[in-house]
Structure 1
Amino acid sequence: MTKQTTKQTAKQTAKQTAKQLILVTGGTGKTGSRVVSRLRERGTPVRVASRSGEQPFDWHDRTTWDAALEGVTAVYLVPLDGELLTRPFVERAAELGVERVVLLSGRGVDTPEQADVTGPSHLDGENAVRAGGLAWTILRPDWFTQNFDEGFFRDAVLAGELRLPLGDAAAAYVDAEDIAAVAVAALTEDGHTGQTYDLSGPRALTMAQAAAEISRATGRDIRYVPLSPEEFVAELAGQGWPAADAEFYAKALGPVRQGLNSHISDGVPRALGRPARDFTDYAQATAGAWR
């Protein structure tokens, strides 16, 4: 290869890289932060958009949308739950030249039980993405394994008791690392356009089984104490939760309690060509956060 050819190749690569700029909304959240890390590891230019991120972005302030979207070719879109803002955002993205969107949705948003929890926002967002004229991919994850160390269940694990209204129902918890890996593949590779990936872990666990996995990983005694929804709401109220928030939390757990999150899906292996990460591996890698 001549020096001139080498220079031309380098210029072409630089030009392609310059053209590729990916916007990550919710860029400091559970999946968004992991998408950002993976993109940066690949050397892909990324813009982190959130209220506290590098690029100020507020769903309720549309004056922040254009600055976030300027020069962007693809978007990892984490919607604002309960708000019908995905549609106008996708329309504006298309007007500003965005070519691809990967939407984080949720499992079962097209079923009455789940839609009753999430409201119309997720389903309307999916419909908007499909009709928006962009290359699109939709991710529908189960409950995140990271809820045990970064989210809803963290304080309960640290306290040694998971007091929840889940009965003996199981959920196929999916690792946020797998969600991020699928998102990055869909943002940067061919073959994912028009795909809706239902994302789960490789097996379903009851809360008692999840507690046992964490106990083995940490050497601590983590117990699951099943409550009725009424007992759960009363305990939260006793801890100072507003009644409406306590009732919504119990309602959000309803589909899990009904066994609607227990089925295993093929989204991770179909998108990545490998198995989804098992809960045991997650618990062992995360054990230090619970000690």
Structure 2
Amino acid sequence: MALVSVVGATGRQGLAQVRQLVAAGHQVRALSRNEKPDLGPTNADIETRVIDLYDRKTYTKALEGSDAVFYNHPLQLRDSRAELAGWIGEAAKEVDAKRFVWNTSSWIPDKPGDAFTYAGNTAGINALFRSGVPATVFGSVLFMDNLLTNWARPFIVHEKRYVYPHKPTLGANWISLDDVAKIMIHAMDRPDMEGTWMNIGGPERLLPPQVAQILSDHFGHTIKYDPCTPEEFGDLLVGALGDSMAEAERKPFAAGIAAFYNYNNNAPTKPFEVNTEAMMERLPGIELETLAQWVARQDWSDTAHRPSAG
């Protein structure tokens, strides 16, 4: 049993990691900016500590005694990826963590061509590896759990529409956050994965109409794929984040999201696609769930516990 500190434990990604770490029998320490973080319904004995990513003085106390550190970079701090990854890597090395696992939450450039904002992941990986902490990095390309957020679920449940900014011909290897967490846990005990990074995705490459059909099959009525523009999606995302985002940050953030999805829809690098056959050769024993399996086990009700932004 290892003591694993999860940075960003109250977000949807961190909550999945906490959940899977507990299921795997590890001791978990949840780290967030809040002294009393909302970790949802759990009976597990989970220690909590405060960490402020922009206050390096909070790092050592938060991480001390950790056997491993799971890091989730905040969506709203995209431009600070390299700086923060390097800083927290240095702190993890200082407390003698045996493994640092970073979920970049997005594709890591692995081929020539314009990398757009994804180049920040490369810079962050370089900074993390230079810190000297034994690290493994996963670029999870697109989360099934996004469909449960306030910018997606209400349309599906209340309006029978699947609203997303993907063009109808855009293929994507959606992956569940629980599977991301299982892969991160798997990497902790893999000496051959120290100092490595890889992109990860789910077992199916789906087009938006196929996603809509899977949702339709589950709910028992037609869910129409109704694509929004990247600009509309930026506004939806800002609205979902609510009071967690300062007013001055809203317009630039929305514009950044719009530019991001305009790139994703047309990029020859295809950042939502993963060679899952090659991926699974490196991750033997991991069974990934399909989108239909994931959809079937979710609570789609309005009363379910949900983290920030749904």
Asked whether the two chains share a fold, i.e. TM above 0.5, the reply is yes
Q: 2:40 maps to what in 1?
A: none
| Equivalent of 1:252 in 250, 260, 263 | 260
| 1:150 matches 2:149 | yes
Distance 2:299 2:123 in 1: 38
Residue 111 of structure 1: how far off its partner (Å): 6.2
Residue 147 of structure 1: how far off its partner (Å): 0.4
1:65-76 equivalent positions in 2, closer than 5 A: 65-76=59-70
Residue 46 of structure 1: how far off its partner (Å): 1.8
Q: 1:62 maps to what in 2?
A: 56
Distance 2:273 2:122 in 1: 21
Q: 1:10 maps to what in 2?
A: none
SS in 2 for 1:134: coil
Cα RMSD, aligned residues only: 3.1
SS in 2 for 1:280: helix
**Aligned 8 A contact 2:167 2:227 in 1:** yes
Distance 2:125 2:99 in 1: 14
SS in 2 for 1:203: coil
When structure 1 is superposed on structure 2, of 33-42 and 223-232 the one drifting more is: 223-232
% identical aligned pairs: 25
Q: 1:264 maps to what in 2?
A: 275
Cα-to-partner distance string for 1:42-62 (whole Å, 9 max, x where unaligned): 332221101233211111222
- C-alpha distance 21-180 of structure 1, shift in aligned 2 (>3 A): same
**Aligned 8 A contact 1:268 1:276 in 2:** no
SS in 2 for 1:102: strand
**Aligned 8 A contact 1:57 1:65 in 2:** yes
Residue 166 of structure 1: how far off its partner (Å): 2.0
Cα-to-partner distance string for 1:205-229 (whole Å, 9 max, x where unaligned): 1222111111110123321123454
- C-alpha distance 151-175 of structure 1, shift in aligned 2 (>3 A): farther
Residue 116 of structure 1: how far off its partner (Å): 2.2
- C-alpha distance 184-231 of structure 1, shift in aligned 2 (>3 A): closer
Residue 132 of structure 1: how far off its partner (Å): 2.5
Q: Residue type matched to 1:203 in 2?
A: E
Q: Residue type matched to 2:187 in 1?
A: A
| 1:131 matches 2:113 | no
Q: Residue type matched to 2:72 in 1?
A: V
Residue 273 of structure 1: how far off its partner (Å): 2.2
SS in 2 for 1:75: strand
Distance 1:269 1:32 in 2: 26
Distance 1:151 1:112 in 2: 35
Residue 203 of structure 1: how far off its partner (Å): 1.5
Q: Residue type matched to 1:60 in 2?
A: Y
**Aligned 8 A contact 1:182 1:268 in 2:** no
**Aligned 8 A contact 1:269 1:276 in 2:** no
- C-alpha distance 111-55 of structure 1, shift in aligned 2 (>3 A): farther
**Aligned 8 A contact 1:157 1:290 in 2:** no
Q: 2:45 maps to what in 1?
A: none
When structure 1 is superposed on structure 2, of 172-181 and 69-78 the one drifting more is: 69-78
Q: Residue type matched to 2:212 in 1?
A: A
**Aligned 8 A contact 1:113 1:255 in 2:** no
Aligned length, in residue pairs: 272
Q: 2:79 maps to what in 1?
A: 82
Residue 192 of structure 1: how far off its partner (Å): 3.0
1:32-111 equivalent positions in 2, closer than 5 A: 32-52=14-34, 53=37, 54-80=48-74, 81-83=78-80, 84-105=83-104, 106-109=106-109
**Aligned 8 A contact 1:172 1:264 in 2:** no
Distance 1:274 1:99 in 2: 22
Distance 1:30 1:185 in 2: 20
SS in 1 for 2:218: helix
Residue 110 of structure 1: how far off its partner (Å): 5.6
**Aligned 8 A contact 1:197 1:271 in 2:** no
